[in-house]
Amino acid sequence: MNKNMTITEKILAAHSGRKHLVPGDIVDATIDIFMGHDVTTPAAISMLEERGIESVFDKDKIVLVPDHFVPNKDIKSAELAKRLRDFASKHDIKNYYEVGRNGVCHAILPEKGFVLPGTTIVCPDSHTCTHGALGAFSTGIGSTDAAAVLATGKLWFKIPESMKFIVEGDLPECVYSKDIILEIIRDIGVDGALYRAMEFCGSIIDDLSIEARMTITNMAIEAGGKSGIIAADKKTDDYLKGRTNKRYTPVFSDDGANYVEVREYDVTTLEPMVAAPHLPSNSKPAGKYKDVKIDQVVLGSCTNGRIEDLRIAANIMKGNCVAKNTRMLVIPASTDIWRQAMKEGLFDIFAESGAGISIPTCGPCLGGHMGVLANGERCVATTNRNFVGRMGHPKSEVYLASPATAAASAIAGKIADPREYI
């Protein structure tokens, strides 16, 4: 038997008291951080109340962030947010991020130092895989499992098979991590990593910032992945300085570890990519869609709403204007990012170009509010999904792209290659 293990197998073994694990094993693992938001966590809270469970496993390991329908768009969303707020108050949960200091939960968690290498993180939200960018095992769960974690601090897992993605080459101008992950999903399909841990490595991954790495792990779920993960390195350590004083132990895959599949990519000739409706795998170079007129551009979300993303878009928008009959929405992913963007003058650039600027929220990404599409409208978005009706009307269309491609498209009023606007 091969005793070598992948990073994912090692983390889950350490959290379940096992010395060795292989794909298919069932474990009961300790959870280091539970995160919840206003849409799926209230259902878990109700399950606890219905069963008379009056305590939580560890209030300091729970992080609650209202973000999906915040600011509340109607009475129902206000009630959901209130349920989360009341739960935090009842259990004296200090890690509660209210409007004014909140943001998209997957931006808040690493920003505030809750994501540490070698830890386990769960949240009833599919894009929880984002946090694997810092070398953690992080995955989305359902509301029922969320209730179990809130009560016990543990959750069962079936050990996933691991896939390795080696990314090499020289990254061309105007090609970013969003383009890389769109190309990988195009290659393997939306079920190409079904219930697998997607492990990313290679010289290109090493060169990426932590923020850029988060974009890649964020979209592991769009390939069907159980999780996405990147081993911690000096960049991880530098990112965590000033964010946490907790000690952590990075975990690395063993040489000779078993992978169900290994795929290699040379991105030297990769172009800015766009995923057309209605699948994230439906990607082609942006130039292939140059005649597709658009009505809206959304810059934001847990995929591409960080300060690095806003800087990339602002660099292209500077001195340009949003096209006539096109609107652009800029939605920073957290309050800290909002403040930083304001401090750097990015908001002036966006405002002068004719873009609208929002407070942090998931908003239009899930068709929630603050940018819902009407019948027949098209949107270029830096979000992660372009399913039928994802951002509004079932007959609207969403095209996924990087912040650079989104900004160029806003200027052109149609899908555009950002290399034309440098």
Q: Are 6 and 258 in contact (CB under 8 A)?
A: yes
pTM value?
Answer: 0.96
Cα angle value 181/275/320 (rounded, 5°): 100
Domain boundaries, the chain: 7-18+26-243+258-264, 275-421
Q: Is the domain covering 275-421 a CATH 3.30.499.10 domain?
A: yes
**CATH topology match: 7-18+26-243+258-264 vs 275-421:** yes
Q: Which two tokens stand for residue 263?
A: 């795929």
Q: Which candidate, 229, 155, 218, places its Cα nearest to that of 196?
A: 229
List the chain residues with pLDDT less than 50.
Answer: none
Q: How far apart are CA 138 and CA 132, in angstroms?
A: 6
Residue 361 · residue 67 · CB < 8 Å: yes
pLDDT for res 422: 84
**Domain 7-18+26-243+258-264, what architecture?**
2-Layer Sandwich (3.30)
Q: Which of 276, 231, 227, 232 is nearest to 128 (CA)?
A: 227
Rounded Cα distance between 9 and 158, Å, is 11
Tell me what pLDDT residue 1 has. Answer: 59
> What strand order describes the sheet that includes 261-266?
227-229, 196-201, 161-168, 261-266
Alpha helices (runs of H) in 36-156, residue ranges in sequence order: 41-50, 75-90, 105-111, 143-152
Query: Per-residue pLDDT tens for 80-139?
Result: 999 999 999 999 999 999 999 999 999 999 999 999 999 999 999 999 999 999 999 999
Burial of 191 (0-12, 13-18, 19+ CB in 10 A): exposed
CA distances from 337 to 97, 238, 361 (A): 14, 18, 12
Per DSSP, the residues of 319-336 read T--PPTT-EEEEE-SBHH
pLDDT of residue 30: 98
Q: Is 359 exposed, middle or buried (0-12, 13-18, 19+ CB in 10 A)?
A: middle
